[in-house]
Amino acid sequence: MKVTFELPPPVLQRLRSHIPSGERSRFVAELISKKLQNKGNALALAAKKANTLRKVNKDMRDWEALNGYED
C-alpha cells in the first residue's frame, strides 16, 4: 500500500545518503513496525502494572459491580 507523509529535510537527506533507493520503503516500514511494537509493549506493561495496584483493582471491581459485569 502506498502512503504519503512528510519528513524533515535533514532526515530525508540522511535517509537518501545512507539507504539505497530500492531499500527505502522496506527500511521505513521496518522502523515503523519496531516503533509500534515497542509502544504496544510499553502499553501492555503499563496495563499490567496498573492491574497490580490495589486502588485500581478496587475501583475496577466497583465499576464492574455497577455495570453488572461478570467474568
Mean pLDDT across 36-49: 83
For residues 60 and 16, which has the higher predicted lDDT (pLDDT)?
16
The model carries a pTM of 0.56
Q: How far apart, in whole angstroms, are the C-alpha atoms of residue 12 and residue 35? A: 18
CB-CB neighbours of 24 under 10 Å: 13
pLDDT of residue 54: 79
Amino acid identity at 68 = G
Q: How far apart, in whole angstroms, are the C-alpha atoms of residue 21 and residue 61? A: 55
Mean pLDDT across 13-39: 93
Q: Could you tell me the three cell numbers for 49?
A: 502494572
Q: How far apart, in whole angstroms, are the C-alpha atoms of residue 60 and residue 58? A: 5
28 pLDDT above the threshold of 70: yes
pLDDT in tens, 54-71: 777 788 788 888 877 655
